[in-house]
Amino acid sequence: MYRLVFTQVLSRLDAEAVHHLTIRLLRLLGMFPPLVRLLHRLLAPRAESLRVQAFGVHFASPFGLAAGFDKDAGCAEPLSALGFGYVEVGTITAHAQPGNPRPRLFRLPESRAIINRMGFNNAGAAAAAKRLRRVRHIPAVVGVNIGKTKVVPESEAVRDYVDSARRLAPLADYLVVNVSSPNTPGLRDLQAVDRLRPLLSAVKEAAGRTPLLVKIAPDLADEDVDAVAELAAELGLAGVIATNTTISREGVASTEAGGLSGRPLKARSLEVLRRLRQKAGDRLTLVSVGGVEDVDDVWERLLAGATLVQGYTGLIYEGPLWPSRINRQLARRLRRHGYGSVREIVGRTA
């Protein structure tokens, strides 16, 4: 059904216009708590076997929504009601900013991919904080992903991240330092260990007891993946999220500038996960994202050592029932293989 709507209607409309309409509908839905509760009752993960605990947080399912969909933290609750085990909001920057000029979001349906160069369009940390403080009507785990304000010079990047961390960490179940988006000039250079160390140390202090993770790019060289893993473990971070979008255009016809997500990212994302597992073992919680389309992909990531898995592009191509379908199939598969819990398969092939 969704596929038909997608090919016949949505794919003919401007991608960003569809996104904003979706966000509006979700926010509207969020204004009717009984409806949110009903949806949650129908779609949220219920199987005992799907429950996981990571860095002190309980998740109803290991499968969550990746950052970038709910940039302003306006609809984490209705999104959770669809069945996501957690929703990562953001990227949020200390100061509000408009992002890059449009068009900046492109679908590549034949490759099951997306290219975006949104550039952290968001209303800023203060506005997000206000929304995150709202009363919740269903249980929802909300991670907050923070990035650097574009106009802030790189020499002041640490202070900018710390500003956001101070405001948002107390309202987040976990906090993510995003140093891997390709659409903010110079951002990914912060992944170099000598720049990352002071940044992560300062944000960790500002985050207090909120678990801190760092999100990395798939375009890092293998040695740099190792170095970040080592640093994250050494600093006592909760985990690493791998990966963000890629600047590679391998396997796609488009040459639009921006970050590529979806199916073409799958192999590299899995490779980075395996590398992290090898390097960090179980010292870090690994969150795998990039090209996850179905339960097979989720299963593969769990086996390779991810405790949590995320997706974004899959939601665009599969529609709103995607998370609940994955949860149902994952629970069924666990049962079929005789596992009582998702925890039992994490890292089995690592």
Which positions lie near ligand FMN, rule CB under 6 A?
66-68, 71, 90-91, 105, 114, 116, 118, 120, 145, 178, 181, 215, 244-245, 261-262, 265, 289-292, 311-314
Closest distance between ligand FMN and the C-beta of residue 340, in Å? 28
To the question of whether residue 312 is assigned a binding role by annotation, the answer is yes
Would you say 36 or 287 has its CB closer to ligand FMN? 287
Q: Tell me the three state secondary structure of residue 169.
A: helix
To the question of whether residue 6 is assigned a binding role by annotation, the answer is no
Would you say 36 or 114 has its CB closer to ligand FMN? 114
CA angle 144, 150, 155 (to 5 degrees): 100
Closest distance between ligand FMN and the C-beta of residue 303, in Å? 18
- DSSP 8-state code for residue 48: G
Active site residues: 181
Contact between 261 and 283 under an 8 Å Cβ cutoff? The reply is: no
- Quick one: CA dihedral 251, 254, 65, 244, positive or negative? positive
Would you say 70 or 163 has its CB closer to ligand FMN? 70
Contact between 66 and 87 under an 8 Å Cβ cutoff? The reply is: no
To the question of whether residue 68 is assigned a binding role by annotation, the answer is yes
Give me the residue label for tokens 């509000």: 96
Would you say 263 or 328 has its CB closer to ligand FMN? 263
In whole angstroms, give the CA distance from residue 287 to residue 47: 21
To the question of whether residue 215 is assigned a binding role by annotation, the answer is yes
To the question of whether residue 119 is assigned a binding role by annotation, the answer is yes
To the question of whether residue 174 is assigned a binding role by annotation, the answer is no
Q: Tell me the three state secondary structure of residue 155.
A: helix
Would you say 105 or 140 has its CB closer to ligand FMN? 105
Would you say 36 or 306 has its CB closer to ligand FMN? 306
In whole angstroms, give the CA distance from residue 204 to residue 198: 10
Closest distance between ligand FMN and the C-beta of residue 218, in Å? 8
In the chain, count H helices and then E strands: 12, 13
Closest distance between ligand FMN and the C-beta of residue 192, in Å? 18
Q: How many residues does the chain have?
A: 350
In whole angstroms, give the CA distance from residue 179 to residue 221: 15
Q: Tell me the three state secondary structure of residue 103.
A: coil
The two beta strands, 63-65 and 174-178, are unpaired
Closest distance between ligand FMN and the C-beta of residue 186, in Å? 16
Beta bridge partner(s), residue 142: 87
Closest distance between ligand FMN and the C-beta of residue 316, in Å? 7
DSSP secondary structure string, 289-306? ESS--SHHHHHHHHHTT-
To the question of whether residue 118 is assigned a binding role by annotation, the answer is yes
CA angle 124, 128, 129 (to 5 degrees): 115
To the question of whether residue 319 is assigned a binding role by annotation, the answer is no
Q: Which two tokens stand for residue 91?
A: 């990227």
Euclidean distance between the first and the last CA atom of the chain, given in angstroms as a whole number? 37
Beta bridge partner(s), residue 113: 108, 262
Q: List the binding residues for FMN.
A: 67-71, 91, 145, 178, 215, 243, 262, 291, 312-313
Q: List the binding residues.
A: 67-71, 91, 116-120, 145, 178, 183, 215, 243-245, 262, 291, 312-313
Q: List the binding residues for substrate.
A: 71, 116-120, 178, 183, 244-245
